Amino acid sequence: MKQEDKAKIKAKQTFPLTIKRIGINGEGVGYFKRQVVFVPGALPGEEVVVEAVKVHPKFTEGRIKKIRKKSEHRTVPPCSVYDQCGGCQLQHMTYSEQLRAKRDILIQALERYTKVAIDTLDIRPAIGMEEPWFYRNKSQFQVGKQDGMVIAGLYSMNSHKLIDIPNCIVQQPVLNDVLKQVKQILQDFNISIYDEKKNKGAVKTVVVRVGVATGDVQVVIVTAVNELPKKELITQEIQKRLPHVKSIIHNINPKKTSLIFGEKSVPLAGPEAIEERLGNRRYTLSARAFFQLNPEQTAKLYDEVKRAAQLTGSEKVVDAYCGSGTIGLWIGEGAAEIRGMDVIPESIKDARENAKALKIKAVYEVGTAEQWLPAWLKAGWKPDVVIVDPPRTGCDQKLLDTVKKVKPKRFVYVSCNPSTLAKDIHQLSRLYKIEYIQPVDMFPQTAHVESVTLLTLKGE
């Protein structure tokens, strides 16, 4: 007998469920016959009738058939494609409750992956936004064809159906306007559009980024083929219809991958990078360089990093996974020296230019922290503070092992994934004390939870 057959819940079965909490992906979580059930769109405290969609050995995925008792925190999502798109998960929840839920998601991850007594931890209320809409400074929409028309948007949840999103209300309005015109240009010139199923066609993705403080706009057209068809015509037409677009780039990504960008970028018009300002700092951003997507909250996040680093002017600081140097340079005036590393060469080029422009003493190298930290230590340079801002997969194991050897006094962990944060903290908890965790809401209306954790070396 298969494990699925032993499950107490059957596929398509309907049953009553009380939602206990919000899960890490923004879904409601309840228990039926001692089995965990995940229900997208359900809120804590609600009593719902659920239909089992997929039954797994250890959990069930369900969908709401009826809400018997509604949460006081339920609200009407303002987005017309919210139910289809999947880009946002919490538009049906009031914003104040979203902030509470995100702190709770952090606590759940710590309970699951660490042995730390949660009631002894200082887990602070999440720092939110006054206006939690129209905040994203970058749009990365897949391009497709529907009824002969060029569409752009995101793939529907758990499927490869492309949902056209003409007006995304969590993006800066200028991004929607630019994308609309670029779609029309591709349509007008009958440009070949990539078909994922057939693995044929040219244009895969259109990426639009804006420097919110500078007004600089960059358009990147990503193709599956080496040549962008009618590239001169497309470039001229973008310049004509969208004179405020400063930089136009062609990126080539022939691989069948979830990664947006390929390794080769070709400038079509204007500079290869645009500028953004945060506070009194200017940052150079090339097409592939990482930069936080919510500038208003980024300043708050980096201020939290600055507080956690507790710099007095004499510290040596390492900014691992440094991207274009944003975090290190934000706090750099308080350090004796900043050193950073990243595997993307363009990011390091941007970081060096940014440090030069800000007159901050900094060394940036292409490579990994586990490569550079031991080399610097061997040369007699030991950091007092290490800051990490890793991808969703968390810190590389080699980096954690290196940190345990190097033993900086303070380790500041900027996380975008509570689960990997908790797992990494668990590894470091023998050597380091968790001083506090400060959640910062970088992505309102979504289940993403960003946070800053301060770890201090025990015995210091």
- Residues marked as catalytic: 416
Of the candidates 119, 168, 164, 173, the one whose C-alpha atom is nearest the C-alpha of residue 143 is 164
Contact 32, 20 (CB under 8 A): no
Of the candidates 289, 346, 292, 330, the one whose C-alpha atom is nearest the C-alpha of residue 338 is 330
DSSP letter string over 344-404? -HHHHHHHHHHHHHHT--EEEEES-HHHHHHHHHHTT---SEEEE---TT-S-HHHHHHHH
Helix/strand/coil for 266: strand
Whole-number Cα distances in Å, 394 to 371, 390, 423: 17, 5, 8
- Which residues have a Cβ under 8 Å from the Cβ of 386 and sit 6 or more positions away? 317, 318, 320, 369, 373, 403, 406, 408, 410, 411, 412
Residue 357 CA, chain-centre distance (Å), reads 27
- What is the rounded distance in angstroms from the CA atom of residue 201 to the CA atom of residue 195? 6
- What is the rounded distance in angstroms from the CA atom of residue 340 to the CA atom of residue 343? 11
Of the candidates 242, 208, 210, 236, the one whose C-alpha atom is nearest the C-alpha of residue 222 is 208
Can you read off the two tokens belonging to residue 408?
A: 């900086």
Helix or strand holding residue 300 (H, E): helix 295-309
Residue 446 CA, chain-centre distance (Å), reads 10
Q: What is the DSSP letter of 162?
A: E
Phi, psi of 235 (to 5 degrees): -60, -50
Of the candidates 143, 302, 111, the one whose C-alpha atom is nearest the C-alpha of residue 208 is 143
Counting every residue, how long is the chain?
Answer: 460
Cβ neighbour number for residue 249 with a 10 Å cutoff: 24
